[in-house]
Amino acid sequence: MMQTITGDAGKWLDTIEQIQNTLRKAGDEAGAKAIGDLLEKAYAQELTIAFCGHFSAGKSSLINSLCGKTVLPSGPVPTSANVVSIRYGRPRALIHTAKSAENPESEIMEASLSELAEYCKNGGAYESVQVWEDVPILSSGGVLLDTPGVDSTDHGHALATHSALHWADIVFYVMDYNHVQSENNLSFAKSLSDWGKPLYLIINQIDKHRERELSFTRYHKEVETSFHAWQVHYTDILFTSLKEQNHPWNQWKQLTHLIPKLLERKTELLAYSLVSSMHHLVEQHVETVQAAEEEELNTLLKEAGGEEAILRLDIEQKTLQQEDEHWKMLPEQERKRLRQELDHLLEHAHLTPAELREAAGKYLESRKPGFKTGLWFAGGKTEREKKRRLDRLTGMLTDQVEGQLIPHVRELLRSWGDGQGLWSPAMEQELDDIRPVTDRQLVEQTVKENALSPEYTLNYCKDLRAAVTTDCRRKALTLVDQLLAQLAVRAETRRAALADARTALLAQADAASRYSTRVQASASHASLLRSLLPQASAPSGLPRADAPAPASDTDAASPAAAPTGVARPAIAGSRNASAQPAAGGRRTRLDAAAARLKAAAALVSPYPAMQAAVRDLHARAAALEGGQFTLALFGAFSAGKSSFANALLGEAVLPVSPHPTTAAINRIMAPASAERHATADVHMKSVGALREDLKYSFRLLGLGEPAAAGWQEVVHALSPKGIHPAGRPHYSFLKAAAAGWEEAESLLGQQLQVDLEQYRDFVASEHKSCFVEHIDLYYDCALTRQGIVLVDTPGADSVNARHTGVTFNYMKHADALVFVTYYNHAFAQGDRQFLNQLGRVKETLALDQTFFIVNASDLASSEEELHSVARHVQEQLQANGIRKPRIYPLSSMLALEAAEQGEASLRSASRFDAFEDDFSAFAAEELAGLSIASAMQELGRLRNRIEQHVADARYSVEEREIRLERLTRVRGELEHTLLDLTDSNGASVLSGETDELLYHVRQRLSYRTGEFMAEAFHPSVLREGVGDLRSAFASCGRELMRLIELELSQELLATTLRLEKTGKILVHKAIQQCVEHMNHHLQGLDCTIPESRKWAVPELNEISLQESIHWKDYWNSFKNPKLFFEGTGRANLQTKLEPILRERIGEAVEQQRERMSSFYVTLMQEEQMWQKAQLREQMLETTRGMEHALMGGEQPQVWEELAGKIAALE
Q: What is the pLDDT of residue 777?
A: 93
Q: How far apart are CA 127 and CA 148, in angstroms?
A: 12
Q: What is the pLDDT of residue 624?
A: 73
Is 793 in contact with 654 (CB distance < 8 Å)?
Answer: no
Residue 44, CA distances (Å) to 47, 86, 167 in order: 9, 14, 12
Average pLDDT score over the chain: 80
Q: What is the pLDDT of residue 205?
A: 85
Q: Which helix (H) or strand (E) holds 632?
A: strand 629-635
Q: What is the pLDDT of residue 661?
A: 53
The residue-averaged pLDDT of 997-1014 equals: 86
Q: What is the pLDDT of residue 717?
A: 84
CATH superfamily, domain at 628-685+751-910: P-loop containing nucleotide triphosphate hydrolases (3.40.50.300)
How far is C-alpha 249 from the geometric centre of its chain's CA atoms? 40
Is 207 in contact with 244 (CB distance < 8 Å)?
Answer: yes
Q: What is the pLDDT of residue 752?
A: 93
Q: How far apart are CA 689 and CA 880, in angstroms?
A: 32
Residue 324, CA distances (Å) to 113, 332, 421, 499, 903 in order: 84, 14, 18, 8, 101
Cβ-in-10-Å burial (0-12, 13-18, 19+) of 61 comes to buried
Is 285 in contact with 166 (CB distance < 8 Å)?
Answer: no
Q: Which helix (H) or strand (E) holds 752?
A: strand 751-755
The residue-averaged pLDDT of 53-71 equals: 83
Is 1205 in contact with 946 (CB distance < 8 Å)?
Answer: no
Q: What is the pLDDT of residue 983?
A: 67
Instruction: Read off the pLDDT of residues 440-478 as tens digits, 9 standing for 90 and up.
Output: 888 888 888 776 776 788 888 888 888 888 888 888 888
Instruction: Read off the pLDDT of residues 1045-1102 as tens digits, 9 standing for 90 and up.
Output: 888 888 888 888 888 888 888 888 888 888 888 888 877 777 888 888 888 888 877 7
Whether residue 1008 has pLDDT greater than 70: yes
Q: What is the pLDDT of residue 842?
A: 67
The residue-averaged pLDDT of 601-610 equals: 80
Neighbouring C-alpha atoms within 13 Å toward the C-beta of 41: 32
Q: Helix (H, G, I), strand (E, B), or coil: what is residue 791?
A: strand
Instruction: Read off the pLDDT of residues 1115-1137 as tens digits, 9 standing for 90 and up.
Output: 888 877 777 877 778 888 888 88
CA angle 57-62-67, nearest 5°?
A: 155
CB atoms within 10 A of CB 388: 13
Higher pLDDT, 574 or 95: 95
User: Among 287-296, 358-367, 964-973, 1096-1105, where is mean pLDDT lowest?
Assistant: 287-296
Instruction: Read off the pLDDT of residues 868-918 as tens digits, 9 standing for 90 and up.
Output: 888 888 888 887 777 788 899 998 888 988 888 888 888 888 899 889 888
Q: Helix (H, G, I), strand (E, B), or coil: what is residue 620?
A: helix
Is residue 846 very low, low, confident or very high in pLDDT (cuts 50, 70, 90)?
low
Is 772 in contact with 806 (CB distance < 8 Å)?
Answer: no
Q: How far apart are CA 1198 and CA 1181, in angstroms?
A: 19
Higher pLDDT, 168 or 1023: 168
Is residue 586 very low, low, confident or very high in pLDDT (cuts 50, 70, 90)?
low
Whether residue 567 has pLDDT greater than 80: no
Q: How far apart are CA 293 and CA 29, in angstroms?
A: 16
Q: What is the pLDDT of residue 281?
A: 85
Highest mean pLDDT among 757-761, 832-836, 1189-1193: 757-761
The residue-averaged pLDDT of 259-276 equals: 89
Whether residue 81 has pLDDT greater than 50: yes
Residue 577 has φ and ψ, to the nearest 5°, of: -60, -25
Does 628-685+751-910 match 48-207+215-265 at the fold level?
Answer: yes
List of residues 6+ apart from 935 with CB closer than 8 A:
593, 594, 596, 597, 620, 624
Whether residue 647 has pLDDT greater than 60: yes
Instruction: Read off the pLDDT of residues 924-938 as tens digits, 9 standing for 90 and up.
Output: 777 676 677 777 777
Whether residue 412 has pLDDT greater than 50: yes
Q: Which helix (H) or strand (E) holds 421?
A: none
Is 300 in contact with 508 (CB distance < 8 Å)?
Answer: no
Q: What is the dihedral of CA 174, 176, 179, 182, to 10 degrees?
A: -20
Q: What percent of the chain has a predicted confidence (pLDDT) above 70?
A: 86
Is residue 829 very low, low, confident or very high in pLDDT (cuts 50, 70, 90)?
low
Whether residue 74 has pLDDT greater than 70: no
DSSP 1069-1094: HHHHHHHHHHHHHSTT----PPPPPP
Cβ-in-10-Å burial (0-12, 13-18, 19+) of 503 comes to exposed
Higher pLDDT, 678 or 177: 678
List of residues 6+ apart from 1047 with CB closer than 8 A:
833, 836, 1005, 1008, 1012
Is residue 686 very low, low, confident or very high in pLDDT (cuts 50, 70, 90)?
very high
Q: What is the pLDDT of residue 563?
A: 36
Q: Helix (H, G, I), strand (E, B), or coil: what is residue 191?
A: helix
Q: How far apart are CA 1100 and CA 565, in angstroms?
A: 57
CA angle 814-817-821, nearest 5°?
A: 150
Q: What is the pLDDT of residue 582?
A: 59
Q: What is the pLDDT of residue 200?
A: 92
Third-level CATH fold of 48-207+215-265:
Rossmann fold (3.40.50)
Q: How far apart are CA 900 and CA 903, in angstroms?
A: 8
The residue-averaged pLDDT of 260-289 equals: 86
CA angle 359-360-362, nearest 5°?
A: 65
Is 1134 in contact with 1010 (CB distance < 8 Å)?
Answer: yes
Instruction: Read off the pLDDT of residues 204-224 as tens digits, 9 standing for 90 and up.
Output: 888 888 777 677 887 888 888
Q: What is the pLDDT of residue 4?
A: 43
Instruction: Read off the pLDDT of residues 12-21 as tens digits, 9 standing for 90 and up.
Output: 788 888 888 9
Whether residue 1000 has pLDDT greater than 60: yes
Q: Give the type of residue at 19.
A: I
Whether residue 856 has pLDDT greater than 70: yes
Q: Which helix (H) or strand (E) holds 667?
A: strand 665-669
What are the domain boundaries of the chain?
48-207+215-265, 310-528, 628-685+751-910, 686-748, 971-1191
Cβ-in-10-Å burial (0-12, 13-18, 19+) of 446 comes to middle
Q: How far apart are CA 165 and CA 269, in angstroms?
A: 15
Instruction: Read off the pLDDT of residues 114-162 as tens digits, 9 standing for 90 and up.
Output: 766 666 655 556 777 888 988 888 888 899 988 876 654 444 445 555 6
Q: How far apart are CA 244 and CA 1171, in angstroms?
A: 65
Is residue 48 very low, low, confident or very high in pLDDT (cuts 50, 70, 90)?
very high
Number of H helices, E strands in the chain: 40, 20
Highest mean pLDDT among 88-97, 162-171, 295-304, 723-732: 88-97
Is residue 751 very low, low, confident or very high in pLDDT (cuts 50, 70, 90)?
very high
First to last CA, the chain: 99
Q: What is the pLDDT of residue 573?
A: 34
The residue-averaged pLDDT of 602-624 equals: 78
CA angle 368-371-376, nearest 5°?
A: 170
